Amino acid sequence: MSISNVKHLTLLIVMLCCSINATIYAQSNNLSGTSFEFQKENETIKLPYYTSHDIEAGDNYVERLVIVIHGTNRNADDYYDNMKNALSQRPDIRDKTIVIAPQFLTELEINDHNLGRNYPYWSSDGWKVGANSRNESSNPRDIRIPSYEVLDSLIMRVVSNFSNLNTMIFTGHSAGGQLTNRYTASSPIFELLCQEHNISSKSIIANPGSYVYMSNRRRIEGSMDQFEVPSGCVEYNEYSYGLDDLYTYHRRAGAPQVKEWYRAREAVYLLGERDNDPNASTLPSSCRAQLQGNHRLEKGLIYYNHILETFGEEIKERHRLELVPNIGHDNFDMYHSTQGLEELFDAAPIFSCSDQTTATSDIITSKVVLFPNPAQNSLHFAGLQGDESLHITDISGRIILTKSDVGSTTDISMLQSGFYLAQLKSKKEAVLLPFVKF
């Protein structure tokens, strides 16, 4: 073969490889034909999701809610199918369980599916960590919204229509595990479910590539359970790897409250014993990520030791480690394993809702009760001392309504639908009560 022919053949091979790679990169996931809709700032927000039940119609027979978060490819259909298949292994509770798999979008899906302005989209990392949705010139949006606020609204819609729910299992694998770890630490939804709806919760964090740390200490190189303040990685403790410089959603609670929430909530670290490839293609590789370990299994083991160091041995009552033998980075195998099925469908949350209400004892107190929740036009307060002031803030911390003299009833008809925090302050205490306005 002549040199020119060799060059021509080489060029064709390169072009073919590039074309294949480009096709793989550009190919969108399947998009759910069902979208969750809610209002924010007079705009309709839509998020595709897969569900085993009509969440608007409800079902009084259903007792368990399983929310499963997709991985970095945003293939919610695969995660939904895999979770439904896992549920089929437990036929006695199949009809009593609703499975929901929300589908977060990037600009790739917006373009490929020609989605309108009502569909928010995030960066490839932003949806995992609760960042605000994007507003690019190529796809302008009227509002930006944190991915975690969308989850809050979705969960509250389900809860409002399924009156006999008593358990929520929140789980994600890989990138979905990253979201599960951070959402569990920063959303007020878990206390809200307990206080207002008697629903106990458990989070199952499966094989994430990174975690949010509860202190500024990281493992000493070469060790698994020794920690110190590191050097040489300036932004290592900024969110989403630590609690410095929090995002909009997380600032409304603040780092101390996030840490206290995470301590008090039930978390299961479900780790595959063969998920130990330090060169995995989707594994985060920044210096912040490297400080957490060399591969997913190691990161999980080190993080559990970090949790023990931060909160003490008593944290084992709420946080536990489950190693799945002979399984690597595969959500189907993880959820179908003996350990996965046990945590998903057999083992109830360790603590009842009444026990979990102490999770925010420094801020949330049972002396003051807000009802109804969700609310339509009015909020009612019981247990007031008589000298409280009220600030109602939105998810970004912006004050929407202020009252210096709070009575038992407050008109909220002027509020847009969404997630809010009612902050009551008296001379003796401060109370933070989350609620949803429909």
CA distance 276 to 382: 53
> CATH classification of 35-358 is 2.10.60.10, yes or no?
no
Backbone region of residue 245 per phi and psi (left: phi > 0; alpha: psi in -120 to 50; beta: other values): left
Indicate the fold that domain 365-437 takes in CATH: Immunoglobulin-like (2.60.40)
CA distance 412 to 375: 8
Per residue in 290-309, pLDDT (tens digit) is 999 999 999 999 999 999 99
The CA–CA distances, whole Å, from 386 to 224, 232, 287, 361, 390 equal: 52, 53, 52, 21, 12
With beta carbons less than 8 A apart as the criterion, state whether 401 and 389 touch. Answer: no
Task: Find, among 49, 60, 68, the residue nearest to 95 by Cα.
Answer: 60
| Averaged pLDDT for residues 361-367 | 42
**% of the chain residues with pLDDT over 70:** 89
Per residue in 386-398, pLDDT (tens digit) is 788 899 987 667 7
CA distance 127 to 427: 39
Flag whether pLDDT at 51 surpasses 80: yes
Flag whether pLDDT at 356 surpasses 60: no
Per residue in 171-190, pLDDT (tens digit) is 999 999 999 999 999 998 89
Flag whether pLDDT at 21 surpasses 60: no
Dig out the tokens for 125 from the structure: 């990392």
What CA dihedral angle connects 115, 118, 119 and 123, to 10 degrees? 110
Flag whether pLDDT at 362 surpasses 50: no
Average pLDDT, the chain: 88
In this prediction, residue 396 carries a pLDDT of 61
Task: Tell me if the pTM is above 0.85.
Answer: no
For residue 353, with 0-12 CB atoms within 10 Å meaning exposed, 13-18 middle and 19 or more buried, which class applies? buried
Flag whether pLDDT at 61 surpasses 80: yes
